[in-house]
Structure 1
Amino acid sequence: MATRIEREGDELVITGREWWTSGAMDPRCAFFILMAESDPTASPHRQQTMVLVPRDTPGVEVVRHYPVMGHHDQHGHAVVRFDGVRVPVTNVIGEEGGGFAGAQARLGPGRIHHCMRALGAAERALALALRARERVAFGGPLAAQAVVQQQIAESRLEIEQARLVCHHACHVIDTQGDEAARDLVAMAEVSVPRAATRVIDRAIQLHGAGVTDVTPLAGTYAWHRAMRLFDGPDEVHLRSIAKGELGRRPLLPPG
């Protein structure tokens, strides 16, 4: 986290560059929610602050737009430069130093919502894959081929397995709170996008032309492959899951 916030009286001065600002290219975007380092001497979880920055503030520059694996998201992701940007202290979200806590409060529920939508995308991809009943190859319906039936069955299995992980995480959030569900959310964040991309990939394979924009499959695949990064890399979630498992499992006696 390299962008800096320095307090000068009743103002905050922001300097830095944000490399992945989701929604910045949407013409309706009037302000940014910026999280940056405000006190490098504080404890690790109190170094960051969240602040509202109006888009038209002097010193704010939207530099460029990023596509996602070749596809342009409707709201856009951009590089945004902050060059001595000044906003009032009243623009702080919550409290100074509370940025990390604020981010964590929404990340768990936000991640599980992404997983819910990924399940819907996987269902849509499987529905499109079932057009194999209409396609003819080798003198008969493509769906009559054993390998195609296996792919359809594997997709249904993976969707249902991923759905159970997601439902379990949601149940624990509802009944015990976000903290109790932390490891389950991490499990969903790894397993659901993995399952979704495999299901979508099979649907692309069955379509043949699924790599084009004639169907939504290519764009859907790109988004859900990127999902394994933008809510935290798989590797970070796996480390969190392992640490939780190692911390709660007692050592068994040898033999």
Structure 2
Amino acid sequence: MTKLICQRILLKLSGEALMSETGGSIDATIVNRLASEIKELSDLGVQIGLVIGGGNILRGAERADTGLDRVTGDQMGMLATVINALALQDAIEHLGQPVRVMSALKINQVCEDYIRRRAIRHLEKGRVVIFAAGTGNPFFTTDSAASLRAIEINAELMIKATKVKGVYSADPAKVKDAVFYPRLSYDEALDQRLNVMDTTALVLCKENNMPMRVMNIFEQGAVMRLMQGEDIGSLIQ
């Protein structure tokens, strides 16, 4: 049997990760590939919690800049995460993997309400759990929701999925000589303002000793190799 570095993880996906190159909000090919990797991880024995953003559909904070009330904008953004969660749930279920969507907003005709003990029970039974609607509160990002849920479900590791190798001193797409950090502390990430996650999310992880791995989700099989002990991406702890 394959030895795993941890049994329970929280995977944070951005909504943009689901977008097609042509600008479509949800690309079926990308969703199916992610679902396939999640299924393989679950088959290996990894208990998986997921938090997904809604930026491919709508960002409440950006709409607030155009005059929309910030609370209303954030509520719209929370609903966008539910749409993404349902799309991912459907793709995972088609592979025969049990999965539940749990929402921080009460919309139980569509998915389950988030209840911590029930979420942990789902994980123990081998079901993937997708946490939707952020924290259920305005002014909090899905990064903060990911940190909160990771702590609540007693995850051993939070994985922040990005489009780059890991944490850099600057955006490697814009700065040619940006420095890659394979290891760093939460204090370093906060002091240097490395934009790994928002400050609230980083502080939550720091104060609750939640290690975070930042890695490229578009690298085929990377999460599987990480679970099997390969040193991938950047580790913050």
TM-score (norm 2): 0.24
Look at both structures and tell me which one has the larger radius of gyration over its CA atoms. Answer: 1
Which protein has the bigger helix share?
1
Between 1 and 2, higher relative CO (CA 8 Å, sep ≥ 6) is seen in: 2
TM-score (norm 1): 0.23
